[in-house]
């Protein structure tokens, strides 16, 4: 999303300076999302908060092609999507520690590191290829769909017990 956001907004008729400014909001919103997660997880289950954020990102990603023609729509869509940036960086460690405990955290996080890093590196190239085939609308729909899958997956696993290791929970 971040790599292609300026190009997308320019394609919707916005000046490059506005597009870059709106894209720059993602950094500020990352911090805002982290603060919201920290406050919300004191009152709500972690999985519910993270699923709600991913759902918001899914809606924003899917709606951005419809909203981005106006300045207010572009800013609103990016703000709705951007709040999730900070949450996403904290979500994985928080969910892993919450589900598997701190003892198993390092092993699981280390195992996940390589595929997650490869996916992050390949995502902009994959998005460029998808944009070439379908336009920005298809790419944003795919991003929104991925966020929706994440939200559904998190909620689906929220009520299940952690896996056992040799009969003992990893907690």
Domain annotation covers residue 118 = yes
Residue with tokens 């999507």: 81
- What is the model's pLDDT at position 75? 93
User: Who has greater pLDDT, 65 or 83?
Assistant: 65
Domain annotation covers residue 165 = no
Helix (H, G, I), strand (E, B) or coil at 45: coil
Span 28-59, pLDDT tens digits: 888 888 888 888 878 888 888 889 889 999 99
Domain annotation covers residue 168 = no
Domain annotation covers residue 36 = yes
Query: By mean pLDDT, which of 70-79, 118-127, 134-143, 162-171 is the weakest?
Result: 162-171
Pairwise CA distance, residues 157 & 139, whole Å: 27
Residue with tokens 């589900």: 99
- What is the model's pLDDT at position 168? 45
Domain annotation covers residue 148 = yes
**Over residues 69-94, mean pLDDT:** 86
- What is the model's pLDDT at position 126? 95
- What is the model's pLDDT at position 170? 43
CATH number at residue 75: 1.20.1250.20
Domain annotation covers residue 167 = no
- What is the model's pLDDT at position 17? 95
- What is the domain extent for residue 37? 2-160
Task: Name the domain count of the chain.
Answer: 1
- What is the model's pLDDT at position 73? 93
**Over residues 93-120, mean pLDDT:** 87
Burial class (CB in 10 A: 0-12, 13-18, 19+), 85: buried
Domain annotation covers residue 44 = yes
Pairwise CA distance, residues 43 & 41, whole Å: 5
Domain annotation covers residue 84 = yes
Helices 46-67 & 16-40, crossing angle to 10 degrees? 160
- What is the model's pLDDT at position 47? 87
Whether residue 169 is predicted with pLDDT greater than 50 in this model: the reply is no
Pairwise CA distance, residues 151 & 54, whole Å: 5
- What is the model's pLDDT at position 164? 64
């Amino acid at each position: 999303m971040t790599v292609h956001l300026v190009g997308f907004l320019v394609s919707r008729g916005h000046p490059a300076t506005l597009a870059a400014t709106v894209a720059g909001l993602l950094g500020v919103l990352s911090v805002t999302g982290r603060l919201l997660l920290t406050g919300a997880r004191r009152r709500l289950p972690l999985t519910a908060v993270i699923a709600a954020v991913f759902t918001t990102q899914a809606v924003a990603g899917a709606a951005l092609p419809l909203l981005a023609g106006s300045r207010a729509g572009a800013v609103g869509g990016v703000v709705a999507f951007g709040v999730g940036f900070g949450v996403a960086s904290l979500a994985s460690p928080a969910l892993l520690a919450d589900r598997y405990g701190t003892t198993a955290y390092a092993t699981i996080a280390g195992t996940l590191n390589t595929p997650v890093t490869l996916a992050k590196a390949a995502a902009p190239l994959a998005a460029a290829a998808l944009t070439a085939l379908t336009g920005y609308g298809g790419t944003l729909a795919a991003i929104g769909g991925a966020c929706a899958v994440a939200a559904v997956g998190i909620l689906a696993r929220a009520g299940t017990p952690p896996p056992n290791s040799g009969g003992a929970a990893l907690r």
